[in-house]
């Protein structure tokens, strides 16, 4: 990354010791060079200082829930570094609308439909995309450059070093990415993706939000105010 990008990128200090080995790996050197060139030559989302926002907004020891996404949104003003989340006053994407619908149906009361999900991150929900950057208007354009290895490592570290986390895996991609999570130590909830193309195939009615809170309460933790 350029000097400016290196200076602007933020990641919470609690993650650094766990991810330090990844930053020194050959794949990450390739990824860094690739991202540096992409930001210099093209329009890339999210803004550089938000690349690691999921980690910056949710310290390692405060993670209670891990929600896995795939790519950042690739439209103007959408991606803000948190999966499924878009900036305030941005029209909510269909998947996010369906997430809100399922929460309200599950919990039986209205919830905030604020599109910036940082309120979840502040409560311990790690909103992690598998790939942390994307070219404007080109979905999946930064896949297979190294991000997947980096986020796989983060998931493995959480699985190994923490206990009693809830992992929400929506859709085939997320389920594959979570295949090595230790299910003896953590609750793993799987369903169809909330996209309009698949939400009726098992996302609606999955009741993941009430199940998550019941598990947290059972382990002496504060439930999430979805």
Active-site residue list: 71
> In angstroms, what CA-CA distances link 18 with 9, 28, 66, 81, 82?
17, 15, 16, 20, 20
From edge to edge, which strands make up the β-sheet containing 65-69? 125-129, 65-69, 166-170, 187-191
What b-and-e string marks burial along 38-48, b requiring 16 or more CB atoms within 10 Å of the CB? bbeeeebbbeb
State how far the alpha carbon of 215 is from the alpha carbons of 45, 162, 168, 220, in Å.
35, 15, 13, 9
Backbone angles phi and psi of 135, in degrees to 5? -75, 150
Question: CA-to-CA distance for 22 and 44, rounded, in angstroms?
Answer: 23
C-beta separation of 156 from 180 below 8 A: yes
Give the H or E element holding residue 22.
helix 13-23
């Amino acid at each position: 990354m350029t000097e400016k990008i290196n200076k602007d990128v933020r990641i919470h200090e609690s993650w650094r010791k766990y991810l330090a080995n990844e930053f020194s790996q050959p794949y990450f050197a390739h990824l860094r060079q690739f991202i540096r060139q992409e930001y210099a030559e093209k329009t890339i989302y999210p803004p550089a200082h938000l690349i690691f926002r999921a980690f910056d907004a949710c310290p390692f020891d405060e993670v209670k829930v891990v929600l896995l996404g795939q790519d950042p949104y690739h439209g103007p003003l959408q991606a803000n570094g948190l999966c499924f989340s878009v900036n305030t006053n941005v029209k909510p994407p269909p998947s996010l609308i369906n997430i809100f619908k399922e929460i309200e149906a599950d919990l039986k009361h209205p919830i905030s439909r604020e599109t910036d999900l940082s309120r979840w991150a502040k409560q311990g929900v790690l909103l992690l995309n598998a790939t942390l950057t994307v070219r404007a208007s080109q979905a999946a354009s930064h896949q297979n450059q190294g991000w997947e290895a980096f986020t796989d490592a983060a998931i493995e570290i959480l699985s190994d070093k923490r206990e009693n986390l809830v992992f929400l895996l929506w859709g085939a991609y997320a389920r594959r990415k979570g295949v090595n999570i230790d299910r003896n130590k953590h609750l793993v909830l799987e369903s169809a993706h909330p996209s309009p193309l698949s939400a009726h195939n098992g996302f609606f009615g999955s009741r993941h939000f009430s199940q998550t809170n019941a598990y947290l309460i059972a382990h002496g933790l504060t439930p999430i105010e979805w």
